[in-house]
Structure 1
Protein backbone atom coordinates (compact mmCIF):
# COMPACT_ATOMS: atom_id res chain seq x y z
CA UNK A 1 0.00 0.00 0.00
CA UNK A 2 1.16 3.51 -0.74
CA UNK A 3 0.01 6.85 0.67
CA UNK A 4 0.19 10.07 -1.33
CA UNK A 5 2.23 12.50 0.77
CA UNK A 6 2.33 16.15 -0.25
CA UNK A 7 2.88 19.56 1.32
CA UNK A 8 -0.87 19.81 1.92
CA UNK A 9 -1.17 16.48 3.73
CA UNK A 10 -1.56 12.76 3.22
CA UNK A 11 -4.12 10.99 1.07
CA UNK A 12 -5.05 7.34 1.54
CA UNK A 13 -7.12 5.67 -1.16
CA UNK A 14 -10.59 4.68 0.11
CA UNK A 15 -10.04 1.21 -1.42
CA UNK A 16 -7.13 0.75 1.00
CA UNK A 17 -8.62 2.45 4.07
CA UNK A 18 -12.18 1.11 3.91
CA UNK A 19 -11.37 -2.56 4.55
CA UNK A 20 -8.98 -1.62 7.37
CA UNK A 21 -11.89 0.13 9.11
CA UNK A 22 -14.40 -2.62 8.27
CA UNK A 23 -16.15 -0.43 5.68
CA UNK A 24 -16.93 -0.63 2.01
CA UNK A 25 -14.61 1.85 0.24
CA UNK A 26 -17.62 3.73 -1.15
CA UNK A 27 -18.62 4.66 2.43
CA UNK A 28 -15.31 6.27 3.36
CA UNK A 29 -15.64 9.75 1.77
CA UNK A 30 -19.06 10.48 3.28
CA UNK A 31 -18.04 9.22 6.71
CA UNK A 32 -14.92 11.41 6.63
CA UNK A 33 -16.98 14.47 5.63
CA UNK A 34 -19.51 13.81 8.40
CA UNK A 35 -16.78 13.35 11.00
CA UNK A 36 -17.57 9.67 11.66
CA UNK A 37 -14.01 8.88 10.54
CA UNK A 38 -11.39 11.11 12.11
CA UNK A 39 -7.67 11.18 11.53
CA UNK A 40 -4.34 12.54 12.68
CA UNK A 41 -1.01 12.87 10.90
CA UNK A 42 2.34 13.08 12.70
CA UNK A 43 5.85 13.66 11.35
CA UNK A 44 8.63 11.50 12.79
CA UNK A 45 11.52 13.10 14.66
CA UNK A 46 14.95 11.87 15.79
CA UNK A 47 15.30 8.18 14.84
CA UNK A 48 11.89 8.34 13.09
CA UNK A 49 12.77 11.38 10.96
CA UNK A 50 11.43 10.94 7.42
CA UNK A 51 8.53 8.77 8.55
CA UNK A 52 4.87 9.71 8.87
CA UNK A 53 2.33 8.16 11.24
CA UNK A 54 -1.30 8.34 10.16
CA UNK A 55 -4.02 7.34 12.60
CA UNK A 56 -7.69 6.85 11.71
CA UNK A 57 -10.58 6.29 14.12
CA UNK A 58 -13.99 4.92 13.22
CA UNK A 59 -16.52 3.56 15.70
CA UNK A 60 -14.45 1.25 17.94
CA UNK A 61 -11.57 0.84 15.47
CA UNK A 62 -8.19 2.54 15.39
CA UNK A 63 -5.99 2.03 12.34
CA UNK A 64 -2.41 3.29 12.29
CA UNK A 65 -0.18 3.45 9.21
CA UNK A 66 3.56 4.08 9.47
CA UNK A 67 4.95 5.35 6.14
CA UNK A 68 8.40 6.16 4.86
CA UNK A 69 9.17 9.47 3.15
CA UNK A 70 7.87 8.32 -0.25
CA UNK A 71 4.55 7.11 1.17
CA UNK A 72 5.25 3.38 1.23
CA UNK A 73 3.40 1.86 4.18
CA UNK A 74 5.92 0.09 6.40
CA UNK A 75 3.55 -1.05 9.15
CA UNK A 76 -0.20 -1.25 9.63
CA UNK A 77 -1.94 -1.85 12.95
CA UNK A 78 -5.62 -2.18 13.72
CA UNK A 79 -6.97 -2.38 17.23
CA UNK A 80 -10.26 -2.07 19.00
CA UNK A 81 -10.11 1.37 20.59
CA UNK A 82 -11.71 2.33 23.86
CA UNK A 83 -15.09 3.96 23.39
Structure 2
Protein backbone atom coordinates (compact mmCIF):
# COMPACT_ATOMS: atom_id res chain seq x y z
CA UNK A 1 0.00 0.00 0.00
CA UNK A 2 1.17 3.50 -0.76
CA UNK A 3 0.62 5.83 2.18
CA UNK A 4 -2.86 6.91 0.94
CA UNK A 5 -5.21 5.00 -1.36
CA UNK A 6 -8.77 5.56 -2.56
CA UNK A 7 -11.17 2.79 -3.54
CA UNK A 8 -14.73 1.48 -3.13
CA UNK A 9 -15.80 4.63 -1.28
CA UNK A 10 -12.98 4.25 1.25
CA UNK A 11 -9.85 6.18 2.01
CA UNK A 12 -6.99 4.07 3.34
CA UNK A 13 -4.21 5.89 5.14
CA UNK A 14 -1.08 4.16 6.36
CA UNK A 15 -1.02 4.10 10.17
CA UNK A 16 2.57 5.37 10.13
CA UNK A 17 1.43 8.60 8.43
CA UNK A 18 -1.29 9.18 11.03
CA UNK A 19 1.03 8.25 13.90
CA UNK A 20 3.72 10.67 12.79
CA UNK A 21 1.22 13.51 12.45
CA UNK A 22 -0.38 12.86 15.84
CA UNK A 23 2.95 12.03 17.57
CA UNK A 24 1.90 8.46 18.40
CA UNK A 25 3.31 4.98 17.87
CA UNK A 26 2.09 3.45 14.60
CA UNK A 27 1.04 0.22 16.32
CA UNK A 28 -1.37 2.18 18.57
CA UNK A 29 -3.29 3.91 15.76
CA UNK A 30 -5.70 1.14 14.72
CA UNK A 31 -6.77 0.34 18.28
CA UNK A 32 -7.16 4.02 19.15
CA UNK A 33 -9.40 4.46 16.10
CA UNK A 34 -11.52 1.44 17.09
CA UNK A 35 -11.88 2.86 20.61
CA UNK A 36 -12.83 6.31 19.29
CA UNK A 37 -9.68 7.94 20.71
CA UNK A 38 -8.76 9.00 17.18
CA UNK A 39 -11.54 10.32 14.98
CA UNK A 40 -11.35 11.52 11.41
CA UNK A 41 -13.02 13.65 8.78
CA UNK A 42 -12.69 13.46 4.98
CA UNK A 43 -13.67 16.44 2.84
CA UNK A 44 -13.74 16.48 -0.98
CA UNK A 45 -12.54 19.66 -2.68
CA UNK A 46 -14.87 21.63 -4.95
CA UNK A 47 -14.28 24.45 -7.45
CA UNK A 48 -10.59 25.27 -7.64
CA UNK A 49 -9.91 22.51 -5.09
CA UNK A 50 -11.67 19.80 -7.14
CA UNK A 51 -9.59 16.63 -7.27
CA UNK A 52 -8.18 17.20 -3.79
CA UNK A 53 -9.21 15.81 -0.43
CA UNK A 54 -8.65 17.13 3.08
CA UNK A 55 -8.19 14.34 5.62
CA UNK A 56 -8.22 15.41 9.26
CA UNK A 57 -7.45 13.25 12.29
CA UNK A 58 -8.22 14.24 15.88
CA UNK A 59 -7.21 13.15 19.37
CA UNK A 60 -8.14 14.91 22.61
CA UNK A 61 -5.46 17.56 22.20
CA UNK A 62 -4.08 17.20 18.66
CA UNK A 63 -5.29 17.75 15.11
CA UNK A 64 -3.43 16.47 12.05
CA UNK A 65 -4.53 17.43 8.55
CA UNK A 66 -3.45 16.15 5.15
CA UNK A 67 -4.38 17.61 1.78
CA UNK A 68 -3.96 14.99 -0.93
CA UNK A 69 -4.72 14.65 -4.62
CA UNK A 70 -6.79 11.87 -6.24
CA UNK A 71 -3.65 9.76 -6.68
CA UNK A 72 -3.02 9.91 -2.92
CA UNK A 73 0.01 12.20 -3.20
CA UNK A 74 0.34 14.39 -0.12
CA UNK A 75 0.25 18.07 -1.04
CA UNK A 76 0.20 19.55 2.46
CA UNK A 77 0.59 18.41 6.08
CA UNK A 78 -0.43 20.46 9.09
CA UNK A 79 -0.42 19.48 12.74
CA UNK A 80 -1.68 21.43 15.72
CA UNK A 81 -0.85 20.41 19.30
CA UNK A 82 -2.91 22.03 22.05
CA UNK A 83 -0.55 20.78 24.76
CA UNK A 84 -2.20 20.04 28.11
CA UNK A 85 -5.41 21.79 27.10
CA UNK A 86 -8.22 19.90 25.41
CA UNK A 87 -8.83 20.76 21.77
CA UNK A 88 -11.38 23.57 21.43
CA UNK A 89 -14.64 22.52 19.74
CA UNK A 90 -13.98 25.08 16.98
CA UNK A 91 -10.88 23.07 15.91
CA UNK A 92 -13.21 20.21 14.88
CA UNK A 93 -15.31 22.35 12.54
CA UNK A 94 -14.75 21.46 8.86
CA UNK A 95 -12.75 24.04 6.94
CA UNK A 96 -10.89 25.39 9.95
TM-score normalised over the length of structure 2: 0.80
The 3-state SS of whatever aligns with 1:70 is coil
1:75 aligns with 2:72: no
Q: Is 1:22 aligned to residue 20 of structure 2?
A: no
Give 1:1-83 correspondences, 5 Å limit.
2-81=3-82, 82-83=87-88
Where in structure 1 are there 5+ consecutive unaligned residues? none
Instruction: Say which is worse superposed, 37-46 or 5-14, in terms of deviation.
Output: 5-14
Q: Which has the higher contact order (CA 8 A, sep 6+)?
A: 1
Structure 1 stretches of 4+ with a deviation exceeding 4 A read none
> What is the number of equivalent residue pairs in this alignment?
83
Name the Cα RMSD after superposition: 1.4
Deviation at 1:20, TM superposition (A): 1.2
Per the normalisation by structure 1, the TM-score is 0.91
